[in-house]
Amino acid sequence: MTPLPAALSDWFAAKGWTLHPHQQDMLARSDDPATLLIAPTGGGKTLAGFLPTLAELGESPPPGLHTLYVSPLKALTADIRRNLRTPIEGAGLQIRVEDRTGDTSYTQRRRQRADPPHILLTTPESLALLLSYEDAPRIFAGLQRVIIDEIHALAESKRGDQLTLQIARLQSLNPNLRRIGLSATVENPPALARFLSPSTTILQADPGPDPDISMLETEAPPPWSGGGGRYAIPAILNEVTRHKTTLIFHNTRAQCEIFFHDLWLQNIEDLPIGIHHGSLSREQRERVEKAMTDGALRAIVCTGSLDLGIDWGDVDLVIQVGAPKNVKRLVQRIGRANHRYNAPSKALLVPANRFEVVECQAALDAVRAHTLDGEPRGPGPKDVLCQHILATACAGPFDADQLYAEVTTAGPYALLTKQEFEACLDFVATGGYALKAYDRWQRLKQTNGKWHLRDPRAAALIRQNLGTIIDTDLLKVRLRNQGAPLGEVEEDFAASLTPGDTFLIGGQVVRYESLREMTVEVSRSPGRDPKVAVFSGTKFSTSTLLTDRILQIFQQESWPDLPAHTAWWLAKQREVSRLPDPRSLLLESFPHDGREHLCVYGFAGRNAQQTLGLLVTKQMEYQGLAPLGFVATDYATLIWGLDPVTDPAPLFDLATLRDGLETWLSGNAVMKRTFRNTAIISGLIERTHQGRRKTGRQATFSSDILYDTLRRYDPDHLLLRITREEALRGLIDFSRIEQRLARVGPNIDLIRLDRVTPLAAPLFFEPGRVPVEGAGRDRLAAAQAQALMEAAGLA
């Protein structure tokens, strides 16, 4: 271990700072090849990660890159740069710290390649780009350390898988490279340690006192359905006035917008409150971040974009609006309040509707019982590997055996077989098609045993497509006749607008005017209610831990812990029908609005409930019940069609469902969406970049066509295999259906009712309805076409 430079120790002493025990431990273990530090927010985790670097660099280090810091958020790199500069400049150390992200200027990036700083702060995407340059070996020549911040968040996504491959690359360039992972509390530290490196030391900091957490009591009960928590605004404002700084978390950007707008209308005291989420323009976000750092805001309405460790001073209350879906994320969010180590964090949960009251109660119980949820992630995805091979080829010729050996040192790819690797290489090189048609199908060629790009000019295009984040196509929103961008909306949302529609963005109501050159032009529309709901957002599945706890709560005789309105609602459901329980599968069948409905209370999480919807409607199609569509939530699937279900057992027979899975997997929308993501990540199709989008829309065609073509002519193609693997563990989540059905066995209970039940009613307001393509829709389409022609006087 190298001690801290005297100037730095003196500076710490002058400030009256002493190192926490886990910070001391990090210094003591600085020679270990890999260290995972698990510490609560506010524990000086990031500084702990940098201490060995500061010790090794000393007071005036020679030039060259020493430490690479990788974080999942651009904002975090800027924040860390500021925080690091304080001790470095304070102690007069000659250490250069710079960040490099998608927002860094071109000149700055060029300079960084020629003359890298001692400490470079970046994101996995920017690192992928750096490693794809031919001069990567020179840039990273003296690299000693890599620090991965918020590694628990990265490990949950393909960005993390990609990062482990990049670190394997860096380790090949610098065999003595040491790794540090910094993590919030997780349910399975050894798994995260393996993700970081095969030989990782785990350091656990003192977790600190239990949080002070409860459900917010409101005068008005929450509404029956919907999200957003608008009803709770008076109570929330009251809490904001009683605290210094409050973070108000929402699960989606849309809810964040609506809530902020409504909050503003009721903010009579003119409390300074800001909004922050990923769809706002950079300028807007930076303005809010600055105001927050300056202590000028009393509250920020935000999404997961503020989940991760940006240190914004005096937050003393966290409010979570909407069910948290996941206990681990909730605990991490709660940690955002009170950045003082060893002081309890204070948090309030605000259920957005009646169902969420129960879920919030279940989450409170889980937090108090210290149980965390988490599903194991499985082996590293191969589309990410394909991209990595392509990016490696951009940097220069490579030897396949060496690359394979390197890739298998990355945690998620430790069990990758040579055969699997070669299939990926073949895909990258030739497309990997069963039909070996032309010599033109060559992206990579082998010369003197080494693989390289057939056309080096292709590198530029490949670099543009690096990264594993797949955005839905976003369009910029601008005020007409003014330059300032307000933010972005999804293309599908923009397509649904007609001139005159009003919607919310950045907390203001705007009027849609026109779509010009891929920009949505709007004008201000003061004081009017938005007519159209906001763009859709990410949806998480409620964890198994939480759904199990909800089913347990349902079994209580009475519900003294729940607010009276919710207890009454559950009692009402018990009276007219039944409450779902863990040992059986409850189905309700009833007519409504001219359609037959079937409500399946599977409690398997949104993704699995969606899959169940797809599988069951397929069976219904076979039985001639003409299903038309369904909608899934974390708790239930509501199916509607032309004819009622009377014999449910065959629909839910596990063996039949499993058999049907194969054929069914082929044509459904979820698979096609998964395929599209996989095709983009693996480099088969390009991302649509704003500004360079092809003008004639007929020039591009849907990735669905490629999917259908491959299914028909090359069913064993690598990308179809990847799509299937991905879908089964991600969006399809079939294992959760299997677990649930195995647990209920033959206890599938159908209750026929003459009307909608209390528990089913909220499902009618759920967005994200999935149409079923089949006989029912054909019947309907024919009837609709007939009606249109008749209306036009043509039939």
**DSSP for 4-68?**
PPHHHHHHHHHHT----HHHHHHHHTTTSSEEEEE--TTS-HHHHHHHHHHHHH-SSPPSS--EE
Q: Which residues contact 210 (CB under 8 A, 6 or more apart)?
A: 344, 368
Q: Single out the residue of 526, 527, 560, 696 in contact with another protein (rule: CB under 8 A).
A: 696
Per-residue binding string, another protein, 437-456, x by CB under 8 A, is xx-xxxx----------xx-
- Taking the least distance from each CB to another protein, the nearer of 415 and 794 is 794
* Smallest separation (angstroms) from another protein to the CB of 465: 9
| Separation CA 627–CA 83 (nearest Å) | 58
Residue 452 phi/psi, 5° resolution? -150, 165
- Taking the least distance from each CB to another protein, the nearer of 691 and 696 is 696
Candidate ranges 81-89, 165-173, 226-234, 782-790; the one touching another protein (CB under 8 A): 782-790
What percentage of the chain's residues is helix, strand, coil (to nearest 5)?
Answer: 45, 15, 40
Candidate ranges 27-35, 354-362, 365-373, 707-715; the one touching another protein (CB under 8 A): 707-715
Owner of token pair 């300032």: 484
Give the DSSP H/E element, type plus range, for residue 485: strand 485-490
Q: Single out the residue of 13, 342, 701, 767 in contact with another protein (rule: CB under 8 A).
A: 701
- Taking the least distance from each CB to another protein, the nearer of 296 and 669 is 669
Owner of token pair 């948090």: 347
Interaction of residue 435 with another protein, rule CB under 8 A: yes
Contacting another protein within 454-473 (CB under 8 A)? 454-455, 457-458, 461
- Taking the least distance from each CB to another protein, the nearer of 334 and 494 is 494
Per-residue binding string, another protein, 138-157, x by CB under 8 A, is --------------------
* Smallest separation (angstroms) from another protein to the CB of 599: 22
Specify whether the CB–CB gap between 67 and 146 falls below 8 A: yes
Q: How many residues bind another protein (CB under 8 A)?
A: 47
What stretches of 222-361 adopt beta strand conformation (E)? 245-249, 273-276, 299-302, 315-321, 346-350
Interaction of residue 777 with another protein, rule CB under 8 A: yes
Interaction of residue 268 with another protein, rule CB under 8 A: no
Candidate ranges 27-35, 70-78, 328-336, 770-778; the one touching another protein (CB under 8 A): 770-778
Specify whether the CB–CB gap between 322 and 352 falls below 8 A: yes
Interaction of residue 627 with another protein, rule CB under 8 A: no
Residue 420 phi/psi, 5° resolution? -65, -40
Q: Single out the residue of 37, 51, 349, 710 in contact with another protein (rule: CB under 8 A).
A: 710
Candidate ranges 378-386, 403-411, 569-577, 771-779; the one touching another protein (CB under 8 A): 771-779
* Smallest separation (angstroms) from another protein to the CB of 607: 22
| Separation CA 621–CA 642 (nearest Å) | 11
In three-state form (DSSP H/G/I as H, E/B as E, the rest C), the secondary structure along 554-620 is: HCCCCCCCCCHHHHHHHHHHHHHCCCCCCCCEEEEEEEECCEEEEEEECCCCHHHHHHHHHHHHHHH
* Smallest separation (angstroms) from another protein to the CB of 621: 14
- Taking the least distance from each CB to another protein, the nearer of 81 and 452 is 452
Per-residue binding string, another protein, 639-678, x by CB under 8 A, is ----------------------------------------
What stretches of 61-164 adopt beta strand conformation (E)? 67-70, 97-100, 119-122, 145-148
In eight-state DSSP terms, residue 760 is T
For residue 125, the one-letter residue type is E
Per-residue binding string, another protein, 729-768, x by CB under 8 A, is ----------------------------------------
| Token pair in block for residue 205 | 């900091």
Owner of token pair 């073509």: 709
- Taking the least distance from each CB to another protein, the nearer of 231 and 640 is 640
For residue 685, the one-letter residue type is I
Ramachandran region of residue 500, left (φ > 0), alpha (ψ -120 to 50) or beta?
left
* Smallest separation (angstroms) from another protein to the CB of 696: 7
| Separation CA 449–CA 445 (nearest Å) | 10
Interaction of residue 705 with another protein, rule CB under 8 A: yes
- Taking the least distance from each CB to another protein, the nearer of 646 and 709 is 709
Candidate ranges 140-148, 269-277, 278-286, 713-721; the one touching another protein (CB under 8 A): 713-721
Candidate ranges 74-82, 239-247, 565-573, 787-795; the one touching another protein (CB under 8 A): 787-795
Q: Single out the residue of 598, 684, 737, 741 in contact with another protein (rule: CB under 8 A).
A: 684
* Smallest separation (angstroms) from another protein to the CB of 701: 4
| Separation CA 61–CA 457 (nearest Å) | 38
Query: How many CB atoms are closer than 10 A to CB 618?
Result: 22
List Cα–Cα distances, 507 to 259, 495, 529, 762, in angstroms: 8, 21, 12, 27
Candidate ranges 197-205, 635-643, 699-707, 749-757; the one touching another protein (CB under 8 A): 699-707
- Taking the least distance from each CB to another protein, the nearer of 6 and 782 is 782
Contacting positions for another protein (CB under 8 A): 430-431, 433, 435, 437-438, 440-443, 454-455, 457-458, 461, 683-686, 696-702, 705-706, 709-710, 712-714, 717, 771, 773, 777-778, 780-782, 784-785, 788-789, 792, 794
